[in-house]
Amino acid sequence: MTESELIAGCQRAESKAQKCLYERFAAPMYGVCLRYLKNQMDAEEALLNGFMKIYQHIGQYEAKGSFEGWVRRIMVNEALGFLRKKEPLHLAIEDSHIQVAGTTGADHELAEEELLELLLTLPAGYRTVFNLYAIEGYGHKEIADMLGITEGTSKSQLSKARAMLQRRLSGNEAIAS
């Protein structure tokens, strides 16, 4: 089934097209949700809620960008909404986090699963901004608008997230779960 056939079928609420859409996008979108949320059950719930929104609002897709990008944006927004409910995006910084990153680079080759585990150890604010900027490709203005923070806070959170990841990769900081 082509993408346009898939979209048209979902717009007509055809269960076969909805199933095909889910099968095509569930795995990568689950990965998106899992990067924002700390556990698999929360990620699965956000994924399912995201698909429900896709099915309900597929008529609003205007084919101006990639369909996968449209789906991804819905999933990111769903994960952020879930995160806001479950884990406040407080920007607390412990004293031990305010240190200069070690000189050893974070150029270790990590498996995707190890990187995900490392990202999940970041405080919620750091993790969210890092995901939106470094992985999803949003700019600081967009992030600020999405999260209700200033651009400066977005930049600061990204910088602190990177420094914390570098320290943890170099072994200069213990990972607290």
DSSP annotation of 67 reads H
Burial class from Cβ neighbours inside 10 Å (0-12, 13-18, 19+) for residue 10 reads: buried
CA dist 29 → 22, 35, 150, 152 (Å): 10, 10, 27, 29
Reading the block at residue 162, the tokens are 């990177």
Contact 164, 122 (CB under 8 A): yes
**Residue where the block lists tokens 């031990």:** 96
Each of the 177 residues of the chain gets a pLDDT tens digit; together they read 899 999 999 999 999 999 999 999 999 999 999 989 878 999 999 999 999 999 999 999 988 889 999 999 999 999 998 888 876 655 443 333 333 333 333 434 456 677 778 888 888 889 999 989 988 889 999 999 888 899 999 999 999 999 998 888 887 665 554
Distance of CA 53 to the CA centre of its chain: 17
